[in-house]
């Protein structure tokens, strides 16, 4: 399934072209063509091979998932691999990446994806509303798609930044096992974002410095702006990563301190109980001639001595600031 947009200055915008019309435009290098393919079928793959004469490795990259963003130079086109970050449709706080493969030629741009990409839908909507994006060439169209894609990164990464701050506050209030689980989940998700956004910045930097003939010098500034935004996002992700690492250390420290407080309390109780247990043990030996054994005030006297010892020990602990 694909959508096609063809723009020619004297004829305006045209959509819904057939394969033969697409082949004629590519062959004559007439006007600007944008072909967007979603979930490439066999006939779509055949068109990439026969009509656009893409290298088999490029076609393979368009079909198979790639691990990192990259730029590859071929004789008649430039292959650019990018990744969009989208929120999961059913679980709002979970993210997913959608690969967007772009082939930039002299008068065409081919994008191939496996799922919906918000930036692609946004650019299509602008074009259908008579935006002049197509008037500036295929490289500007590619720049607009990537720029919109990067703009969509910001609210998602800011959402994670807020979640990191929330977990950091929770640590010093009432940390529990659920807090630890959230910390580990956030750490994994932030590492996932870092592995996605970082290579994107490297890829755009390659486009800026490459001097490719399919990218006009006047549009380099727009790609440089995208690179600056990606660097900002990378810094934000790095800061969140540092905060999460610190939060994990703080969690361990808080839990350890709480355990120490419990152990200190139990130790004090055990220390106070030791002399009391000693007295009770002595008077529990049942020897016949033990002192005060027959005294009518012997029991309350021993209880009083126990209370006095406990009070004296508590006073001593407080003076030593152990309590």
d(CA 266, CA 32): 79
Q: For the chain, which domains are there?
A: 2-254 (3.30.460.20), 255-319 (1.20.58.340)
Residues of the chain with pLDDT under 50: none
Phi, psi (degrees; rounded to nearest 5) at 60:
-65, -40
Looking at residue 132, its pLDDT comes to 87
Looking at residue 182, its pLDDT comes to 83
d(CA 83, CA 143): 14
Looking at residue 145, its pLDDT comes to 95
Looking at residue 140, its pLDDT comes to 93
User: Could you tell me the end-to-end alpha-carbon distance of the chain, in angstroms, rounded to an integer?
Assistant: 73
The dihedral over CA atoms of 255, 256, 258, 262, expressed in degrees to the nearest 10, equals 140
Looking at residue 57, its pLDDT comes to 92
Beta carbons within 8 Å of 159's beta carbon, 6+ residues apart:
93
pTM over 0.85: no
List pLDDT tens digits, range 55-92.
999 999 998 887 788 899 998 999 999 999 887 766 66
């Amino acid at each position: 399934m694909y959508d096609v947009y063809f723009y020619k200055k004297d004829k305006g915008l045209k959509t819904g072209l057939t394969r033969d019309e697409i082949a004629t435009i590519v062959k004559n290098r007439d006007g600007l063509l944008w072909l967007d393919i979603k979930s490439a079928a066999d006939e779509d793959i055949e068109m990439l091979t026969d009509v656009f004469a893409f290298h088999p490795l490029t076609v393979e990259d368009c079909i198979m998932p790639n691990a990192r963003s990259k730029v590859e130079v071929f004789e008649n086109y430039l292959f650019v691999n990018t990744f969009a970050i989208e929120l999961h449709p059913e679980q709002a706080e979970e993210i997913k990446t959608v690969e967007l493969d772009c082939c930039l030629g002299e008068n065409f741009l081919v994008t191939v994806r496996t799922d919906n990409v918000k930036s692609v839908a946004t650019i299509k909507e602008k074009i259908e509303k008579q935006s002049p994006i197509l008037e500036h060439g295929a490289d500007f169209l590619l720049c607009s798609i990537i720029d919109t894609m990067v703009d969509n990164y910001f609210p998602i990464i800011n959402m994670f930044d807020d979640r990191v701050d929330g977990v950091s506050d929770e640590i010093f209030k009432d940390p529990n096992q659920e807090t630890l689980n959230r910390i580990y989940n956030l750490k994994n998700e932030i590492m996932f974002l870092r592995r996605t956004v970082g290579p994107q910045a490297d890829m755009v930097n390659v486009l800026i410095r490459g001097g490719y003939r399919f990218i006009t010098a006047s549009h380099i500034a727009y790609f440089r702006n995208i690179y600056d935004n990606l660097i900002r996002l990378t810094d934000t992700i790095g800061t969140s990563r540092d905060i999460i690492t610190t939060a994990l250390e703080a969690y361990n420290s808080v839990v350890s301190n709480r355990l120490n407080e419990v152990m200190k309390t139990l130790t004090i109780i055990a220390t106070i109980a030791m002399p009391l247990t000693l007295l009770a043990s002595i008077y529990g030996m049942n020897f016949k001639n033990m002192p005060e054994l027959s005294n009518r005030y012997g029991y309350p006297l021993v209880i009083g001595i126990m209370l006095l010892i406990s009070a004296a020990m508590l006073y001593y602990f407080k003076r030593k600031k152990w309590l």
